[in-house]
Amino acid sequence: MSFENLNLIEPILRALKTEGYTTPTPIQAQAIPIILQNKDLLGCAQTGTGKTAAFAIPILQLLYQDRLQHKEQKTIKALILTPTRELAIQIDESFAAYGRHTGLKHLVIFGGVSQNPQVDALRRGVDILVATPGRLLDLMNQRFVHLEHIRMLVLDEADRMLDMGFVHDVKKIIAKVPAKRQTLFFSATMPNEIQQLANTILTKPEKVEVTPVSSTADTIQQSLFYVEKNDKRSLLIHLLKDKNIKTALVFTRTKHGADKVVKDLIKVGITAEAIHGNKSQNARQRALTNFKNRTTRVLIATDIAARGIDIDELTHVINYELPNIPETYVHRIGRTGRAGASGIALSFCDQEEIEFLKDIHKLIAKQIPIEEGHPYPMTPQSIVARHSEGSAKNSGSHNGAANKRGRGFGSSSRGRGGSSGMSGSTRSSNSDRRRN
């Protein structure tokens, strides 16, 4: 199948050709026709499956066709809510790329920067608004944003958005959007809480499910390095001596940890920058730009980057610390091996993280191959002892590790971080969330 088979208009097909897109991904092939029929959609797809284009392309087409039939109004007609600034910026860039020949105006708004340029653009009029919930509510309260003309509402990365504590903000925003609208709901996972929210805002939705979160792409080569916690720095430097690693995205558990890894790498002559919630928006964008154009070889990121970074030809993800939420492992290594390309994911695991590793293995239903030949191995006795200890703990606990992670909304354990390892993930701090 090609994009020409999806009944797309010429201005969009021309833009897709410029971008080098010829064949739609599975979620694009399934979702685009549904959205073009003005139906609500519930999409379950993991990161890297091409879902931004799956909703951006039909939104552009519907608004373009509507403008040809009606007098143009300078009102917001489509609203896309997304959890992080990085993801919001990338979605806006996608609208710019696919809609370059449509004449439709789009804008992205997020916190952490001056609101004045955003307010000026709003006053000039936009058709499509991409926003993080915090800044959107702020501008709504100041009466700079009005949503009474919204025809299309998109909740992207819904599970991540709610997991970051945006559930009340999202509900406040939805309450201001017309009940008669088309709603598109995308989530990488579909726990009960997400399903319940979807049920309240969708009307007779069509469901599209592509590659569940429990699976890792076959194109990603995974390796596990058992290593003592104090040897992780040395192991990372050792691996980065390999010149075949042109760029690497490295995940840490904390913002402080990310900054420390940057300092360690710079000391040995490896160009590195960090991206996390304590960085200003300009600093974060500069670091991301430098990484994309390969001025910076290594980007160190906390969980804020787990789903918001899309980098072409990223070959290596290194999980300096393992996540305590196993699904995050899949999201993080999904930064590489995108759109059918190959990728390499290297995971560090110290003694404290063996329990998290067992949860990851259970989720993905396979064992990550162990790398035996590195110079900083954990002693076999330590590995066996820790595995045995973890098994004893689990057998003696009614709820097990999953309960310790806190699956439900409002659970205080949501904010607990894991220890070290690969494809790791941590929950964003309240300060990160508020600045969005």
Digit-coded pLDDT (tens) for 129-158: 999 999 999 999 999 999 999 999 999 988
Which pLDDT belongs to residue 217?
A: 75
The one-letter code for the residue type at 167 is V
- Least confident window among 158-167, 175-184, 417-426: 417-426
Question: What one-character-per-residue DSSP string does 143-209 give?
Answer: TS---TT--EEEE-SHHHHHHTT-HHHHHHHHHTS-SSSEEEEEES---HHHHHHHHHH-SS-EEEE
* Cross-strand bridge partners of residue 129: 79, 107
CATH, range 220-435 = 3.40.50.300
SS3 content of the chain, % helix, strand, coil (to 5): 45, 15, 40
Q: How confident is the model at residue 418 (pLDDT cuts 50, 70, 90)?
A: very low
Q: What average pLDDT does range 87-106 have in this prediction?
A: 92
Digit-coded pLDDT (tens) for 279-313: 777 888 899 889 989 999 999 998 765 555 677 77
- 308 vs 209 pLDDT, higher one: 209
Q: Please return the burial class of 101, using the count of CB atoms within 10 Å of its CB with bins 0-12, 13-18 and 19+.
A: middle
Task: With a cut of 60, say whether residue 394 has pLDDT above it.
Answer: no
- 395 vs 82 pLDDT, higher one: 82
Q: Do domains 3-210 and 220-435 have the same CATH topology?
A: yes
Q: What average pLDDT does range 62-91 have in this prediction?
A: 86
Question: What one-character-per-residue DSSP string does 315-368 give?
Answer: -EEEESB--SSHHHHHHHHTTSSGGG--EEEEEEE-GGGHHHHHHHHHHHTSPP
Q: What average pLDDT does range 17-43 have in this prediction?
A: 91
Q: How confident is the model at residue 54 (pLDDT cuts 50, 70, 90)?
A: very high
Scanning 37-105, the segments in alpha helix (DSSP H) are 51-69, 85-98
Torsions phi, psi for 249 (to 5 deg): -100, 120
Which pLDDT belongs to residue 382?
A: 58
Which pLDDT belongs to residue 434?
A: 40
How far is residue 417 from each of residues 254, 260, 323, measured CA to CA in Å? 8, 17, 8
Digit-coded pLDDT (tens) for 243-253: 999 999 999 98
In the chain, domain spans: 3-210, 220-435
For residue 36 the two structure tokens come to: 């073009």
- 167 vs 249 pLDDT, higher one: 249
CA 315/CA 333 separation, integer angstroms: 10
Q: What percent of the chain has pLDDT over 70?
A: 82
Digit-coded pLDDT (tens) for 324-372: 778 778 888 888 877 667 899 999 999 999 989 998 998 888 999 999 8
Q: In what order do the strands lie in the sheet with 248-251?
A: 220-226, 343-349, 316-319, 248-251, 298-301, 272-275
Which pLDDT belongs to residue 194?
A: 85
- Mean pLDDT across the chain: 83
How far is residue 73 from each of residues 68, 125, 136, 150, measured CA to CA in Å? 12, 8, 21, 12
Instruction: Tell me the CATH class for 3-210.
Output: alpha beta
CA 272/CA 236 separation, integer angstroms: 12
